[in-house]
Structure 1
Amino acid sequence: MSTPSTPAPPPPEKKRAGRDLRAAIGVGVGLGALVGASLFIWPPVFVGVIAVAVVVGLWELTSRLEERKGIKAPLVPLAVGGAAMVVAGYVRGPEGAWVAMALTALAVLVWRMTEPPEGYLKDVTAGVFAAFYVPFLATFVALMLTADDGPERVLTFLLLTVVSDTGAYAVGWRFGKHKLAPRISPGKTREGLLGAIAFAMAAGVLCMTFLIDGGTWWQGVLLGLAVAASATLGDLGESMIKRDLGIKDMGTLLPGHGGIMDRLDSLLPTAPVVWLLLVIFVGSV
Structure 2
Amino acid sequence: MNDSTWGTPQGAGYRGAPEFGAAPAGPAHDVYGAQQTRPMPIVPDVPDAGRDADDRNREAAHVSGPLFRDEKPQEPMAAPPTPPPAQKKRAGRDLRAAIGVGVGLGAVVIGSLFVVKAVFVGVVVLAVVVGLWELTSRLKERKGVSVPLVPLAVGGAAMVVAGYVWDAEGGWIAMALTALAVLVWRMTEPPENYLRDVTAGVFAVFYVPFLATFVSMMLTADDGAWRVLTFLLLTVVSDTGAYAVGWRFGTHKLAPRISPGKTREGLFGAVGFAMVAGALCMQFLIEDGTWWQGLLMGLAVAASATLGDLGESMIKRDLGIKDMGTLLPGHGGIMDRLDSLLPTAPVVWLLLVVFVGSG
Give TM-score scaled by structure 1 length: 0.97
Instruction: Note the C-alpha offset of 1:33.
Output: 0.3
1:222 paired to 2:302: no
* AA partner of residue 231 (structure 1): A
1:59-138 to 2 correspondences below 5 Å:
59-138=133-212
1:150 and 1:83 map into 2 onto residues whose CA distance is: 20
Q: For each residue in 1:123-171, what CA deviation from the matched residue of structure 2 results, as whole angstroms up to 9, or x when unmatched?
A: 0000000000000000000000000000000000000000000000000
Aligned residue in 2 for 1:171: 245
1:190 paired to 2:264: yes
Structure whose alpha-carbon radius of gyration is higher: 2
Q: For each residue in 1:25-51, what CA deviation from the matched residue of structure 2 results, as whole angstroms up to 9, or x when unmatched?
A: 000000000001100000110000000
RMSD: 1.2
Aligned residue in 2 for 1:141: 215
Task: Identify the structure with the greater helix proportion.
Answer: 1
Q: For each residue in 1:43-73, what CA deviation from the matched residue of structure 2 results, as whole angstroms up to 9, or x when unmatched?
A: 1100000000000000000000000000011
1:198-237 to 2 correspondences below 5 Å:
198-237=272-311
1:181 paired to 2:255: yes
Instruction: Note the C-alpha offset of 1:118.
Output: 0.4
User: SS at the partner of 2:84?
Assistant: coil
1:174 and 1:22 map into 2 onto residues whose CA distance is: 19
Instruction: Note the C-alpha offset of 1:6.
Output: 7.6
User: SS at the partner of 2:155?
Assistant: helix
Classify 1:148/1:66 alpha carbon distance in 2 versus 1 (closer, same or farther; 3 Å): same
Aligned residue in 2 for 1:249: 323
Q: For each residue in 1:216-245, what CA deviation from the matched residue of structure 2 results, as whole angstroms up to 9, or x when unmatched?
A: 010000000000000000000000000000
2:243 and 2:207 map into 1 onto residues whose CA distance is: 24
Gaps of 5+ in 2: 1-77
Q: For each residue in 1:164-221, what CA deviation from the matched residue of structure 2 results, as whole angstroms up to 9, or x when unmatched?
A: 0000000000000000000000000000000000000000000000100000010000
Instruction: Note the C-alpha offset of 1:11.
Output: 2.8
Count of residues paired in the alignment: 282
* AA partner of residue 206 (structure 1): L
Give TM-score scaled by structure 2 length: 0.77
2:87 and 2:239 map into 1 onto residues whose CA distance is: 24
1:7 and 1:105 map into 2 onto residues whose CA distance is: 63
Classify 1:15/1:148 alpha carbon distance in 2 versus 1 (closer, same or farther; 3 Å): same
Instruction: Note the C-alpha offset of 1:106.
Output: 0.2
User: SS at the partner of 1:162?
Assistant: helix
* AA partner of residue 79 (structure 1): A
User: SS at the partner of 1:71?
Assistant: coil
- Which 4+ runs in 1 deviate beyond 6 A? 4-8
Instruction: Note the C-alpha offset of 1:12.
Output: 1.2
1:257-272 to 2 correspondences below 5 Å:
257-272=331-346
Higher relative contact order (CA 8 A, sep 6+): 1
User: SS at the partner of 1:180?
Assistant: strand
Aligned residue in 2 for 1:10: 84
2:80 and 2:327 map into 1 onto residues whose CA distance is: 50
2:286 and 2:146 map into 1 onto residues whose CA distance is: 43
2:298 and 2:144 map into 1 onto residues whose CA distance is: 39
